[in-house]
Amino acid sequence: MKALLLSKYKHLEIADLPEPKAGPGEVLVRVAACGICGSDVHGYNGSSGRRIPPIVMGHEAAGRIVALGPGVTEFAERDELPSIRQSTVAPAAAAFAVE
């Protein structure tokens, strides 16, 4: 999958990363759109201390569920999610939790 990776402070790149798997209680979302907010800007320059490279940037997304992890019953594959937050951010991509 393609992702915007902060590989070091003040250096973004489009990276090809392995597709993540949905873990227990998680869904995997194919992101259709993702915003970059002020906290991402602070992460980019290192001023917040909350985003430590390498890390996939962008945590305000919308998309469609493509896989369900064990124990997920309230959603189905192909459900559209107009607003999601990223709960797990890792260098190799992330699974999303739904609010």
Higher pLDDT, 38 or 94: 38
Cis, peptide link before residue 54, omega less than 30° from 0: yes
Per-residue pLDDT tens over the stretch 53-65? 999 888 788 889 9
Mean pLDDT of 60-83: 89
Mean pLDDT of 40-53: 89
Domains parsed from the chain with CATH numbers? 2-97 (3.90.180.10)
User: Is-contact 87 95, C-beta < 8 A?
Assistant: yes
pLDDT band for position 85 (50/70/90)?
A: low
**Phi, psi (rounded to 5 degrees) for 32:** -95, -30
Mean pLDDT of 76-85: 84
pLDDT reported for residue 86:
56
